[in-house]
Structure 1
Amino acid sequence: MSKKRLGRGLDALIPNGDSGSVPENEIKKIDINKIESNPYQPREEFNDELLEDLSYSIKEHGLIQPITVKEEEKGVYQLVAGERRWRAAKLAGLDKIAAVVQDYSPQQMMEVALIENLQREDLNPLEEAKAYQRLIEEFDLIQAEVAESVGKSRSTISNSLRLLNLAPKIQEYVSHETLTVGHARTLLALDTFKEQESVAKEIIENELSVRETERLIKELTSDEHEKEEVKKEIKEKDPNIIAIEDRLRKRLGTKVNINHGSDKGKIVIEYYSDEELARVLEHLDR
């Protein structure tokens, strides 16, 4: 089957309704209740407040750009692009909506829906990653083909897909912007979901920067020689001292070492920048 590539963007398959490229007779007024949503829509969440705003705008000024649909059977259509406009038009109480009717394969429908959202920056990072993965699985594509289809570099696709290796809880944090993508990518260095969730909790509670998170993870994933040194140190240390070090490390978000003697000792708190020192002092002042 020949494939239409979408690397040039939406204009490759979707005529721009207000650019004059679509003859007037190709834009139809369609019963809004005869249109079904795009089953390949990558977007999982729609902001109700923004939909209300768009609905009000449509009531006041009308629909400026038509949606794009595919005719499934006589009088029944499937949405290809413009789901926010379609939803807002329904909220506005429109009976009919302007639409460009074109024929698309299932793969093209998914690509168009994905590109539309990418160009408008409407997808969160996990929705984007899931959409790439669905293209790969449902249409037997390789990453390079997905990259060509959506006009992205192969490394962009690869880095996006790696987010799907995160613990489900971490994916939820990224979707809701509790964690940044930068923080999330550093967690991929950890072997288990439990470790990822534990470090994520520290990031959130201690407001760690990405650089601070990288240092923390580097400590947790030190090479075997360093691990043996740590084990040796642990064997020699009082378990109560180790527990205190661990509490301080979690509280301050940095490495803490206690050298405890018979009558006296010292606490060493490591920091790696002026910014990190200020953060540690802020925690100590609380």
Structure 2
Amino acid sequence: MGRGLGALIPDFDEDKAQVSELQYLAIEKIVPNPSQPRVIFDEEKMKELADSIKCNGINQPILVRKIDNAKYEIVAGERRWRACLMLKMEIIPAIVRELTDEESLQIALIENIQREDIGPIEEARAYQQLIKRFSYTQDELAQKIGKSRPAITNAIRLLDLPDEIIEHVISGTISAGHARTLLSLSVNEDRINALHKIINDKLSVRQAEDLVRRSMEIGKVPTPAKQAYVFEKESYIKENIWKKFTFKGNQKTGKFVFSYSSPEEKQELLNSLGIQ
């Protein structure tokens, strides 16, 4: 966790957590947290982490809690666990704590926010979940995680955009800077038209700002002559079949990409697709 639970969650009672000594647990006895806020694990970065662990070992144990007599649930460190699975390791260093469901979720959310590679939408959703689940004000959350209140406010505002724009931010087609620019437009139809023009014309954030400013002056965003193709079933597949799904292509040709980060996840994917 790096900063420790006391730093991440100031009101967390470490004595109550009953910290045990470092243990080496069988990987097969460890399961991921079903409430894990992180749903996307970059395959290339996972391989880099696995290579690092192979050469240097694990520098930091994962944090788990016991959920029954034989299994442990990950609270923090799922990337390290997945990397060990990729290396077919049999044991992993872990610290076991007694945590409630609420404490476990709170730690997972805050650790997720403090990742260097967290995406803007993932970050915004984590802020929103913390505020709703634990009744934080934005000021209280800012103090807990070491961010400014305006940074949290601006992040959460991205979630007010239409799903189509949010999906393009997640996929990296446009940046969070582009998306924030679109917030200046009050009509979703104008936002979508501006989105397509940004994508088609490969506009920079500064150019997107100019587009939005001109559009607000005339009262409407020009409809692009040729809009970027959007696969309408992508969200359905992500929600109902496989979260790590992406589509690349157009109306006539393209490819479906289903990503996985471990042998176990590969089998889970095959099961989801009905392949035995």
The normalised TM-score by structure 1 is 0.66
1:139 alignment partner AA: F
Matched to 2:182, the amino acid is: L
How many angstroms apart in 2 are the aligned matches of 1:11 and 1:53?
Answer: 33
Correspondence for 1:211: 206
Question: Does 2:30 align with 1:67?
Answer: no
Deviation of 1:208 (Å): 2.1
Separation in structure 2 between the aligned mates of residue 37 and residue 62 of structure 1, nearest angstrom:
21
Q: Please tell me whether residue 199 in structure 1 is matched to residue 194 in structure 2.
A: yes
Q: Take 1:183 and 1:61, find their aligned partners in 2: how far apart are those partners?
A: 39
Q: Identity of counterpart residues, as a percentage?
A: 40
Change (3 A) 1:146 1:72: same
Aligned position for 1:258: none
**Secondary structure, aligned partner of 2:67:** strand
Q: Distance in 1 between matches of 2:50 and 2:98?
A: 28
Task: Give the aligned CA root-mean-square deviation in angstroms.
Answer: 3.1
In the alignment, residue 169 of structure 1 is paired with which amino acid?
E
Is the Cα contact below 8 Å between 1:111 and 1:149 reproduced in 2? no
- CA contact under 8 A between 2:113 and 2:126: conserved in structure 1? no
Q: Which residue is equivalent to 1:154?
A: 149
**2:93 is matched with which residue?**
98
Amino acid at match of 1:168: D
1:175 aligns with 2:170: yes
Q: Which runs of 5+ in 1 are unaligned?
A: 16-22, 231-245, 252-286
Letter aligned with residue 98 of structure 2: D
For residue 57 of structure 1, what is the aligned residue in structure 2?
Answer: 52
When normalised by structure 2's length, the TM-score is 0.69
Preserved contact between residue 6 and residue 12 of structure 1 (Cα < 8 Å): no
* Counterpart Cα distance in 1 of 2:36 and 2:5: 16
Larger Rg: 1
One of 132, 136, 140 as aligned partner of 2:127: 132
Q: Unaligned stretches of 5+ in structure 2?
A: 227-276
TM-fit CA distance, 1:10: 8.0
- 2-side partners of 1:162 and 1:146: how far apart? 16
CA distance in 2, matches of 1:31, 1:10: 29
1:55-95 per-residue CA deviation (whole Å, 9 max, x = no partner) reads: 23333433222111112223321111111100011111112
Q: Which amino acid aligns with 1:35?
A: I
Per-residue CA deviation, residues 164-193 of structure 1 (Å, 9 max, x unaligned), is 011111111111221111111110122233
Alpha-carbon distance in 2 for matches of 1:212, 1:54: 37
Name the structure 2 match of 1:31.
Answer: 26
CA distance in 2, matches of 1:7, 1:162: 29
> After the TM superposition, which residues 1-286 of structure 1 pair with which residues of structure 2 at under 5 Å, given as runs?
8-9=7-8, 26-222=21-217
Shift of 1:12: 9.3
CA 1:98 to 1:142, structure 2 compared with 1: closer, same or farther past 3 Å?
same
- State the alpha-carbon separation in 1 of the partners of residues 32 and 171 from structure 2: 24
Change (3 A) 1:220 1:7: farther
How far apart, in 1, do the equivalents of 2:77 and 2:61 lie? 8
Equivalent position amino acid for 2:183 in 1: L
Contact 1:66/1:100 (8 A) holds in 2? yes
- Distance, in Å, in 2 between the alignment partners of 1:119 and 1:141 is 17
Q: Give the superposition deviation at 1:11.
A: 10
Measured after TM superposition, the shift of residue 147 of structure 1 is 1.8
